[in-house]
Structure 1
C-alpha cells in the first residue's frame, strides 16, 4: 500500500511519517489496515516544526492484536529518537468505532507525546469533523470516504461542553496561570474556540490568536505576551507573573460568556 497523500507536508514531518507508515505496514497487514489520517495543525496548514504535534488516527478492520501492540510500542520507541517523534499524538481505532465518542468505545491503543498507552484519548466530534472535512490521507482509503457522519452541530456541542465543563473548572484554579505554559494554552485555546464558532469552521490556534488580537483590544497586553511566547521572541513580558495570571482568569471568564452567546445563535 503506497502513501497516497496529495497534500504538501513539511519535510521534517514527512520524513518521520514516511518512516512510520513504512514500518507500520510491516506490523499490520494490508488486509487489516484501512488507512492513516492526519488532523490538527498539519491538516490546517498551521504546523510549526519546533512546537506542533503530529496528530494522527490509524484505522484498521479490527482492534490491534496483542502481538501487534508489542510491535507498535517498539515502533514508537524508535520514532521517539526523533524530535518530532516525541510529539506524535494518535489513536489506533477499529473501523466499527470510527465516528464514535469515547464513552461508546472499548479502550484502544493511543500514542501521547510519542509514548504508547491503552485507554481513551483525543476522540470527540471535533476530531472526527476535522478528519472527515480537512483530514490528510497518508495511506489507504480517503478520509472523506470513511463510513461515518458528523455534523457542525456535533462540533458546537463538543465545544460548548468543553467550555462549560473543562474551562469553567480551570478558572476555579487560578494558580495554574502562574505557569507560562498554562497561560499560553488557555489563551490560544479559548481564542481558537471563539473564532471557530464565529467562522463555523475549525481554525488553527494561530488564527484564533490573531482574531482575538484584532477584535478584542481590551486584552491586548495578555495577547501580546502570549504572541511573543509563541513566536519565541525572547522579549521580557509586559505583565508581571501575578497580573498575567489574574488577567488570564478574567480572559477565560470573558471567553466562556462569548462562547455561550455564539452557541445560542
Structure 2
C-alpha cells in the first residue's frame, strides 16, 4: 500500500511508514484504523534523519484487543531491525479517547525505545494541539478533521504544570546535570517552552535553542555547548562538567521565573 502525504518527509521515513501501514493491514488491524498521524519533529519541520524519533499516533475505532496487541508487538519487533524502526515512538488511541488527558483514559498500547508496552505515555494538550494544527496524516481521516477541541489555554496549562512540577523538582537534584544527556534535555526543553509561551506557537527544540542563543547572551557558554552536542560536532566543551552542571541549574531557575512572568500576563 503506497502512502501519499500532503507534506514532504524524508524518503527513508516514507518507506518505514509504508512497511508499518502494510504491516497493520496484514495483521488485520487496518479494519479498525481511523488514521495514522505524525507529530513531533516531523510535523514541526525539524526532523534529523540520524537522530530524531518518528513520533506517531495511530487512532482506532475501538481499543485493540489482546490478539491484536500480540500482533502489533510482533510488527514493531520486525520494524526494530531497521535503524528508523528503533526510533518509532507512538501510541494506539481509540477514537473515543482522542483529545483526552492520560488521567481520563484507560491504559493503551504505546511504543517507546523499541519496546511496546501498555499504560500511559506521551499524551497531553501539546500532543493534541500539534496533531490538530500541524500533524501529518499518513493514512485515513485528516488530522485536522478529528473531532476534538484543544485550546491554547490548555497548552499553557500543560506547560505550566511541566515547569512548576517537573522542572522545579529537577532543580532540587542538580547532580542530574553532571550528565550530558540531562544538560541537553533541560536546556533545549526550557528554551522551547519560553519561546512557545512568547509566540503562542509550538516549535521544535532546535528553534527554541536558536531563540535562546539569539536573545540571551548571559547563557551563551552553556547554549553553545548544547548546540555543539546537538550538532555532533565533536568539539571540546568550553565549560567544565561541574561548571556546566551549576550553570544548567541556574538556567532552569531563570527559565522558571521567565515562564511565570509570561503566564502571569
Same fold (TM over 0.5): yes
> 209-218 or 78-87, which moves further after superposition?
78-87
Give, in whole Å, the separation in 1 of the partners of 2:184 and 2:249. Answer: 12
Give, in whole Å, the separation in 2 of the partners of 1:232 and 1:27. Answer: 39
Secondary structure of 1:7's match?
A: coil
Give, in whole Å, the separation in 2 of the partners of 1:169 and 1:186. Answer: 12
Q: Determine the structure 2 residue equivalent to 1:206.
A: 206
Q: Determine the structure 2 residue equivalent to 1:195.
A: 195
Give, in whole Å, the separation in 2 of the partners of 1:26 and 1:61. Answer: 18
Q: Determine the structure 2 residue equivalent to 1:162.
A: 162
Give, in whole Å, the separation in 2 of the partners of 1:157 and 1:117. Answer: 27
**Does the Cα contact within 8 Å between 2:24 and 2:30 map onto a contact in 1?**
no
The structure-2 alpha-carbon separation of the partners of 1:74 and 1:3, relative to structure 1 and needing over 3 Å to count, comes to same
Q: CA deviation at 1:166?
A: 0.3
Q: Determine the structure 2 residue equivalent to 1:64.
A: 64
Secondary structure of 1:225's match?
A: helix
> 20-29 or 186-195, which moves further after superposition?
20-29
* Mapping for residues 80-229 of structure 1, pairs under 5 Å: 80-229=80-229
Cα deviations by residue, 1:177-223 (Å, 9 ceiling, x for unpaired): 00000000000000000001111010101100000000000000000
Q: Determine the structure 2 residue equivalent to 1:243.
A: 243
The answer to whether 1:48 aligns with 2:37 is no
Structure 1, gaps ≥5 residues long: none
CA RMSD of aligned residues (A): 1.0
Q: Which runs of 4+ in 1 moved over 3 A?
A: 28-31
Give, in whole Å, the separation in 2 of the partners of 1:12 and 1:195. Answer: 31
Secondary structure of 2:41's match?
A: coil
Give, in whole Å, the separation in 1 of the partners of 2:141 and 2:26. Answer: 18
Q: CA deviation at 1:31?
A: 3.8
Q: Structure 2 length as normaliser, TM-score?
A: 0.98
Q: Determine the structure 1 residue equivalent to 2:258.
A: 258
Q: CA deviation at 1:41?
A: 0.1
